[in-house]
Amino acid sequence: MLRFGIVTREGLLEAAAAAPAKIAPAVAFPLVETFTGTLSESEEEALAFLYGGIPAGPSIKLTWRERLRAIDDIILPEIERRFARERTIRVHDMAASNAISSVDFFEQLAATGRALSYLASDFYDALLVVSLPGGRWRVVFNAEGEPLQIVGRRMVLASAGERKRFPVNRLVHRWAEGRLVPKARALLAAGKAERIALFHPEALALAARDERFRLGRENVFEPPRGPFEVVKIVSFLSPHRFDRDTVRRALMAITPTIAEGGLLAVGRTQGTGDRLDASLFAREGGRLVWVADVRDGYAYKDVVTGLG
């Protein structure tokens, strides 16, 4: 059997609108750049379909508005209670995925009339796309330079390999890995790659028109110095991704970036992402103390409060 995949925007819109297939079609990741401005409902569905297939380390590039509203609704009154009205509220929304949920929280904060500085960051913030001579093939890399896809005029190949039920794809993939990927790596090293942002079009538009909202690439384990009145890292430091020691290492790096009296929101979403279990902590005397939970709260609360 042979599987071509989806290489056009029209094909993506059709696939997103159709009933879910037993085996999801491969979609060319660079199609993300064809979505700009305000999107229709069908375009949002297609973009979500595409984001759902783009790997971002241990996660995927998918979130949505109001996904984190339950924890945001706890943070907002805590800000009012803890900080004087004249104080600028600096927020770092870490591992923010495509940052559409960051847009959601920024808009809520902006509505309070407070002075505001908001950084939404994600380590996997872009695709690096190398077009090979002849124009027939492109190789797609993530922000770390790892190959994700090999995209032809009609075919999409996963760099990790093809399913056994598609023997022709497996043969083409073997050829491409040996012939195309090394050439693409050389061009990438020479700086000859197109950078395609993976942030949601609404996040990109907001950053372009409002200097209070910024997008960036930051590492959870090596965060910027701050200080921030609010740090959010929801859905990344999850037990199904990281053990306690790894989470402790990340939080030890993050805690010094939180202002004294500032807030840390950490948790996870489960299943399809509709269930949120999260906790809010405050930095007091150099330590993090528990403030409130959403549902069952963060699974590693003891790790957070045990940081010295």
Of 195, 212, 232, at which residue does a domain stop?
195
pLDDT, residue 23, reads: 62
Residues 244, 106, single domain; the answer is: yes
Residues 219, 98, single domain; the answer is: yes
pLDDT, residue 5, reads: 87
pLDDT, residue 41, reads: 95
Residues 38, 158, single domain; the answer is: yes
Return the CATH number at 209. 3.40.50.150
Residues 210, 286, single domain; the answer is: yes
Residues 91, 68, single domain; the answer is: yes
Residues 158, 279, single domain; the answer is: no
| Owning domain of residue 32 | 9-53+126-195
pLDDT, residue 270, reads: 72
Residues 143, 281, single domain; the answer is: no
Alpha-carbon gap, residue 295 to 24, rounded angstroms: 33
Residues 243, 159, single domain; the answer is: no
pLDDT, residue 25, reads: 78
- What pLDDT, in 10s, does the model give residues 131-189? 999 989 999 999 999 999 999 998 898 866 555 556 667 788 888 889 999 999 999 99
pLDDT, residue 165, reads: 59
Of 172, 195, 218, at which residue does a domain stop?
195
| Residue 273 falls inside a structural domain | yes
Residues 132, 249, single domain; the answer is: no
Contact 158/26 with Cβ under 8 angstroms? Answer: yes
| Residue 13 falls inside a structural domain | yes
Q: What is the pLDDT along the chain (308 residues), one digit of tens a residue?
A: 556 789 999 999 999 998 676 567 789 999 999 999 899 999 999 999 999 889 887 777 778 888 999 999 999 999 999 999 999 999 999 999 999 999 999 999 999 999 999 999 999 999 999 999 998 999 999 999 999 999 999 889 886 655 555 666 778 888 888 999 999 999 999 999 999 999 999 999 999 999 999 999 999 999 998 899 999 999 889 888 899 999 999 999 999 999 999 999 999 887 555 789 999 999 998 899 999 999 999 999 999 999 96
pLDDT, residue 158, reads: 81
Residues 44, 190, single domain; the answer is: yes
Q: Which residues contact 40 (CB under 8 A, 6 or more apart)?
A: none
Number of domains in the chain: 2
Residues 167, 283, single domain; the answer is: no
Residues 119, 135, single domain; the answer is: no
| Residue 268 falls inside a structural domain | yes
pLDDT, residue 135, reads: 86
